[in-house]
Structure 1
Amino acid sequence: MRAAALIAPLIAVLAVTAVADATPTQDLDRGRQSFRARDWASAIPVLNALLYPELQLARKEDAIEAHVLLGAAHFESGDTERARDEFEKALQIDPDRTITTLMFSSAAVRLFDQVREEQRGRIERDADRKRLAEAAEKLELYRKSLVVYEARPYYLNFMPFGLAQYTQNRTRVGALFTLSQGITFATSVGIYGYLVGTYGFENSDVPILEGPRVRQLQQLTIASGIAFYALYAFGVFDAIRHHKPRQQVQGDDSLIPKDLLEPTKKPAPNKTSFRDRIQVSPMVTPESVGIGIGWEN
């Protein structure tokens, strides 16, 4: 009896020592066995110790399995949130990982598949946002680097009413010429038209009493006409003085490549498989009927 009493504690100490000296691979196997035995309470602490606070497993495949087993154990224990978290961590390592009902319950498989699809959706959205941000940055850089020059024909300098200045992007000066030339031109033409309409081209039917007033109107017509031509000549001189054969202008979006303006359109995938590259089409000739086979690079 005394010998048995001494042996029992010794066996317990050896068992504890064996557990303490177990390698991470052995602990993973122990967690796997507990999971298969549906002993969630034993599997969770063993698997959790392999992953937290630091990863104890050297092989990527072992780390994925530990996350999946721990997530499934949490799910079977009723903790869906922690199960989702472990499944996400496993899928971050291997986004294409799948599990089957051979080892996991159908409910756990459905949750894992749901987490995988949600993660794929997030990855695609993140990739789209990144692609759009990069496209916007490229578009902005392209616009900044886009330098457009517009040819300025010399004859534009002789356009009246400030049009020459407008073509030089000198809006205020053009407006002054428009106003001044417009007033003098309208005054001269308007009075001349009034006199012709009232007294004829030769003004031979002017009554004697209206002669002084008509003379004043004629003088005003001539003076406003001279003023118009003087302003026109000064406008031409001003336009020639500021003339540039080529002037930089703001480019519009028509000069930008479509792939930069429409970044939402994903590029068509390259045809890499034999099935995608081969093309079969009927061939009909007056003498025969056949099939043509082509190959697309």
Structure 2
Amino acid sequence: MKWFFLAMIVAASAFAQVMPDREVQIIQSLYDTGKYAEAARRANESLTLANFSDAQRIRLHEIAGLSSFHLGDTKGAQASFLSLLKVNPDYLLDPFAVPPAAIKVFEQVRKDNGDALNLVRQQISLRLEQEKRALAERERLAKEQEERLRRQEILNGKVTERTIEKRSMLVNFLPFGAGQFQQGRVGAGAAFAVSEGVLAILSIVSFFAIEALFQDVTITRDDLLTADGRPFTFSVRAIPPERRIQRDVWTGLKYGTGIAFYALWGVGAGEAIWNHQSEVITEREVPATPAPPSARLRIYPTPGGLGAGVTIGF
């Protein structure tokens, strides 16, 4: 008895240590590097230890069968191929990766066990049908539960109102916190709107301030003479030298606030995109609207003819 429990503990420990995905990768690597004996042994052992999915079991049986085939163990290959076909009777080997001789052995196993595999197909079909029915039953029960909850809410005088709000991604690219306002984050939206608004106003004011510095300046060219021999003079619109310091200040302010505006716009758009949800569902309880009174006329047979009745619901 002691040895039995010890064997059970060792088996359980080995089962816990086998990770299906990792184990399949290791066995596949052994097969790809030509270590057929080790690949076949480990595949057969792993199939008794870990809970593999159907696709993983098929792959391990295939590796075990092909490894046995390459080792010249035809009976071992046939046994692995039969185990594979019991999982999927209609499985096909890849003709670009598997030698034709191995495919011939595989197809012969399918042919020799045709009756048994037909029974497997029926069992698989029955299982899939049962799973389909079970899924439909779960969906039906879920709908019934939802309907019961709705009726209970109506009896309690309340119903749940669900609002689905669709949000556009394009709004997030607009300035002045448009994306934040769309998401209902008024504080963040107001912060971006005010900051960008102030920067935009300062940049515009700077532009007009620079324009206001321009004056009509008269320039005299002593090297050019008019027809009557006087120096040539003309007027241009320019900023006088004494106002160039103001020009530099306003120019720096214009470009600085402009750059800051676009930078803040980009930050706001990126922040809005990061927090974007294309669909938002909100629920709230509202008083149930009482059902309007209804009347129903019933006609039924009687021993002497017909009878009529009226049912009023309110």
> TM range, normalised to the smaller chain?
0.3 to 0.5
TM-score (norm 2): 0.36
Higher strand share: 2
Mark the structure with the bigger radius of gyration: 1
